[in-house]
């Protein structure tokens, strides 16, 4: 980190004690910015780094709800509206027991720069709750979502803040959230949430977008190295929304995915993961990935296993933050991995990232690689605003163009800033300059 930025980072750490994931995300961005301040001294003078690291607004609220036995439960809700220089606050909601303010702040901070990379008019935000959807009935999920929205609705609006899904929040939850918003406000305000069902205002391709987009980015990384996805052996962690559509597009482009996982264990199927089965188990029946082995006798289930020990050429972490440790990264490199494309947000630890750079493999950081989800959310907003509904093919072509552009710009910027092949520098510098220029233009607000 450059000498003039170090004290800023120290101050951010001191002002936000204990928020380790937030510190990690801020540090990664700040480490890229030394050369930017040399070319743009006005950013230092106007304290853009200090301002961009402080959320514009943080909302924490009580979410009381009743379980099926009539017992009252209390969870905590969050919405961190991080930056609106480029557009309305935009970013997902996460329901997972690990959620706390530091995690939502790291996700919101990353979202600001990710959204800037899409070149669409969207600012950055994130929200969620420490609610655990696992094992809850449909009615419990509905009551929780209704209570959550009963507080959150006052902070939302198509020109203010537009949430979407993330871990534990998919089509079902967004439906209940939108229903409650509509009921309280008496407005069918489609643009207030994205990831809606296609038959009630959603965009085609939004469900697939993060995974498909991540694979397009990896395709571009391989192209630069004069390679393709054809015949490549891949490992994808998780088995949720991002993992499923990452596996689908990898398969369509000729690669073979041999392993996926959930928080209980890993499935290895050397013949190639049976995606229809994963979709049925996870999307329809909401079961564990362990059940896969009941249907494919030669697939192996590794209870509590570590997916990064499975040899592969392409690794696409698509579960959660810090899921690749330094040791996992070394294991991947030693096993011949040549590309890492991050579908999850910040899935690689600092040590892991260093291992990838030292080994010279192609490493695509999350804020660039997984931007296809939010980019398609912005396409959903565009369709809602014009009361239009685009075809799958048209929407997918737009997603592909957006991802190809993000790849090209991050790659070019890395070269321009003296770090060829370094997509971390490319993404951070490109995104920061875009946000900073808007903040300068809007004055000291």
Active site residues: 126
Cα–Cα dist 79/402, whole Å: 27
Tell me the per-residue interface mask from 225 to 244 with ligand NDP, x by CB under 6 A, - otherwise.
-------------xxxxxx-
Q: Count CA atoms within 13 Å of residue 15 on its CB side.
A: 11
Whether residue 84 contacts residue 56, with contact meaning beta carbons closer than 8 Å, is answered with yes
Q: Which residues pair with 88 in a beta bridge?
A: 122
Task: Provide the terminal-to-terminal Cα distance of the chain, rounded to the nearest Å.
Answer: 27
Q: Does 395 bind ligand 2IT (CB under 6 A)?
A: no
Please report which residue ranges of 225-303 form alpha helices under DSSP H: 241-252, 275-279, 292-295
* Token pair in block for residue 403: 């991802």
Tell me the per-residue interface mask from 61 to 100 with ligand 2IT, x by CB under 6 A, - otherwise.
-----------------------------xxx--------
Cβ at position 238, least distance to ligand NDP in Å: 3
Q: Does 194 bind ligand 2IT (CB under 6 A)?
A: yes
CA angle 246, 250, 253 (to 5 degrees): 140
Whether residue 78 contacts residue 99, with contact meaning beta carbons closer than 8 Å, is answered with yes
Stretch that binds ligand NDP, among 9-17, 339-347, 403-411, 412-420 (CB under 6 A): 339-347
Please, which residue, 48 or 379, has the CB nearer to ligand NDP?
379
Cβ at position 126, least distance to ligand NDP in Å: 9
Stretch that binds ligand NDP, among 8-16, 256-264, 268-276, 384-392 (CB under 6 A): 256-264
55-72 per-residue burial string, b: 16 or more CB within 10 A, e: under 16? bbeebebebebeeeeeee
Q: Does 108 bind ligand 2IT (CB under 6 A)?
A: no
Q: Which residue has the tokens 């980072």?
A: 9
Please, which residue, 167 or 429, has the CB nearer to ligand 2IT?
167
Tell me the per-residue interface mask from 121 to 160 with ligand 2IT, x by CB under 6 A, - otherwise.
----------------------------------------
Residues 264-283 that bind ligand NDP (CB under 6 A): 264
User: Which of the listed partners (ligand 2IT, ligand NDP, none) does 263 bind, with a CB threshold of 5 to 8 Å by partner kind?
Assistant: ligand NDP
Tell me the per-residue interface mask from 55 to 94 with ligand NDP, x by CB under 6 A, - otherwise.
----------------------------------------
Whether residue 63 contacts residue 74, with contact meaning beta carbons closer than 8 Å, is answered with yes
Tell me the per-residue interface mask from 9 to 28 with ligand NDP, x by CB under 6 A, - otherwise.
--------------------
Stretch that binds ligand NDP, among 74-82, 179-187, 251-259, 313-321 (CB under 6 A): 313-321
User: Which of the listed partners (ligand NDP, ligand 2IT, none) does 194 bind, with a CB threshold of 5 to 8 Å by partner kind?
Assistant: ligand 2IT
Which of 236, 201, 190 is CA-nearest to residue 341?
Answer: 236
Q: At what angle do helices 392-416 and 101-117 cross, to 10 degrees?
A: 90
196-233 per-residue burial string, b: 16 or more CB within 10 A, e: under 16? beeeebbbbbbbbbbbbbbbbbbbbbbeeeeeebeebb
Interaction site with ligand 2IT (CB under 6 A): 90-92, 111, 114, 164, 166, 194, 345, 373-374, 377
Q: Which residues bind ligand NDP (CB under 6 A)?
A: 96, 98, 165-168, 170, 210, 238-243, 262-264, 318-320, 343-345, 370, 373
């Amino acid at each position: 980190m450059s000498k003039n930025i170090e004290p800023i980072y120290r101050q951010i750490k001191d002002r936000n004690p204990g928020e380790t994931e937030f510190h990690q995300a801020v540090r990664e961005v700040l480490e890229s910015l030394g050369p930017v301040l040399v070319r743009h001294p006005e950013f230092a003078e106007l304290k853009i780094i200090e301002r961009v690291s402080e959320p514009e607004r943080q909302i924490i609220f009580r979410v009381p709800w009743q379980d099926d036995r009539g017992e009252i439960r209390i969870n905590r809700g969050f919405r961190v509206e991080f930056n609106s220089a480029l557009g309305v606050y935009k970013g997902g909601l996460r329901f997972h027991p690990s959620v706390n303010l530091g995690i939502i702040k790291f996700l919101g901070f990353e979202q600001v720069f990710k959204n800037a990379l899409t070149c669409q008019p969207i600012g950055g935000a994130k929200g969620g709750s420490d609610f655990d959807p696992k094992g809850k009935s449909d009615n419990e999920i509905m009551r929780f979502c209704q209570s959550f929205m009963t507080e959150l609705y006052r902070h939302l609006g198509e020109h203010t803040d537009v949430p979407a899904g993330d871990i534990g929040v998919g089509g079902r939850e967004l439906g209940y959230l939108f229903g409650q918003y509509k009921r309280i406000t008496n407005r069918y305000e489609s643009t207030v949430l994205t990831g809606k069902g296609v038959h009630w205002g959603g965009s085609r391709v939004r469900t697939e977008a993060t995974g498909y987009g991540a694979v397009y980015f990896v395709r571009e990384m391989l192209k630069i190295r004069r390679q393709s996805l054809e015949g490549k052996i891949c490992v994808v962690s998780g088995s949720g929304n991002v993992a499923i559509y990452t596996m689908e597009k990898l398969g369509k482009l000729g690669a073979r995915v041999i392993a996926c996982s959930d928080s209980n264990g890993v499935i290895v199927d050397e013949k190639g993961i049976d995606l229809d089965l994963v979709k049925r188990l996870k999307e329809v029946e909401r079961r564990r990935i362990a059940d896969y082995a009941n249907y494919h006798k030669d697939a192996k289930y590794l209870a509590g296993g570590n997916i990064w020990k499975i040899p592969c050429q392409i690794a696409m972490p698509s579960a959660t933050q810090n899921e690749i440790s330094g040791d996992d990264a070394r294991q991947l490199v030693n096993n011949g991995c040549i590309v890492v494309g991050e579908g999850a947000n910040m899935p690689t630890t600092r040590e892991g990232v260093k291992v990838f750079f030292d080994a010279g493999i192609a490493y695509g950081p999350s804020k660039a690689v997984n931007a296809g989800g939010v980019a398609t959310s912005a396409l959903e907003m565009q369709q809602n605003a014009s009361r239009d509904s685009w075809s799958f093919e048209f929407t997918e072509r737009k997603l592909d163009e957006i991802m190809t552009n993000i790849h090209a710009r991050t790659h070019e910027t890395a070269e321009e800033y003296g770090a060829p092949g370094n997509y971390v520098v490319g993404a951070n510098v490109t995104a920061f300059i875009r946000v900073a220029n808007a903040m300068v233009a809007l004055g000291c607000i």
